[in-house]
Amino acid sequence: MSFELVREGGLVWLEFGAGRGNVLDAAQIDALAAAVQALAQEEEVRCLAFTGRGRDFCWGASVPEHQKEQAPQMLATFHAFFRLLEGVGIPTAAAVSGRCLGGGLELAAWCGRVTASPDAQLALPEIKLAVFPPLGTLALDWRVGGAAGAELVYTGRTVSAAEARALGLVDEVAEDPRHAVRRWYEEHLAPLSASSLRYAWRAARARLARRLDDELPALERLYLDGLMATFDANEGIEAYLQKRPARYQHR
């Protein structure tokens, strides 16, 4: 199994990991989606909390699946998972340790509560492969906003847990981020009606959920029809897979 469910009453942990860096590929996302759909039928579940196995949260989505032939299905699978999360209405949280990159940061930033260990490193480094993260642009605009959020997308720079907290990308820095999520859940969500909580979650995030339908398709088209038609985007991915410097032609 590519992930493990750990139940703590109404708090359910989805602990994922598949080899080095807990990379999220299409099969992993499909498995997580099936688990979320099943958990949505359990009336007392109040929070879905994501965390990675080992020292790192997640290094991102599978780079081979970013290749031009696979990119359409990769984006469709990945983005469908976020639409599912919003649709079921269960509050989400992320406990981040170590490196949280690319698709891993997209997942964490989309959650309603993000805790991180002091050694956490967070980035959307896609631009360093000559691509960009469509979902990440929405997630960082929601969490960070304005020029600061945009800068993290187009530079791909890494921020520490402390800077991420200052930016609003992380809600709390704690030595034990899982314990911090658990404490937050027990104080704020556990006493509430699980059914009413799901309605309140949908209401509070209605604007963000609409952006998945209103804005994300245009970003997908920009990625697939615009970016992936360029030489450099394909060169960046191939260079990474071949472990060599990219030879960009700026076209």
Measured over the CA atoms of residue 203, residue 60, residue 140 and residue 130, the dihedral's sign is negative
Q: Specify the pLDDT at position 1.
A: 46
Strand order of the sheet with strand 159-160? 99-101, 121-123, 159-160
Measured between alpha carbons, how far apart are the two ends of the chain, in Å?
42
Q: Is residue 114 part of a domain?
A: yes
- Report how many domains make up the chain: 1
| Domain extent at residue 155 | 3-175
CA-CA distance, 251 to 200, in Å (whole number)?
Answer: 47
Question: What tens digit of pLDDT does each residue of 90-123 get?
Answer: 999 999 999 999 999 999 999 999 999 999 999 9
Residue 240 lies in a domain: no
Stretch 191-212: mean pLDDT, rounded? 97
CATH number, domain with residue 34:
3.90.226.10
Tell me the two tokens of residue 112: 């309603």
pLDDT single digits (tens) 153-188 = 999 999 999 999 999 999 999 999 999 999 999 999
| pLDDT tens per residue, range 115-145 | 999 999 999 999 999 999 999 999 999 999 9
Is 241 inside any structural domain?
Answer: no
Q: Would residue 228 count as lying in a domain?
A: no
Q: What's the confidence (pLDDT) of residue 21?
A: 85
Query: Which residue(s) pair with 15 in the sheet?
Result: 4, 51
Q: What is the 3-state secondary structure (H, E, C) of 162-173?
A: HHHHHHCCCCEE
In a domain, 243, yes or no: no
The tokens for 108 are: 């964490």
Q: Which of 79, 102, 112 is nearest to 224 (CA)?
A: 79
pLDDT tens per residue, range 40-68: 999 999 999 999 988 999 999 889 989 99
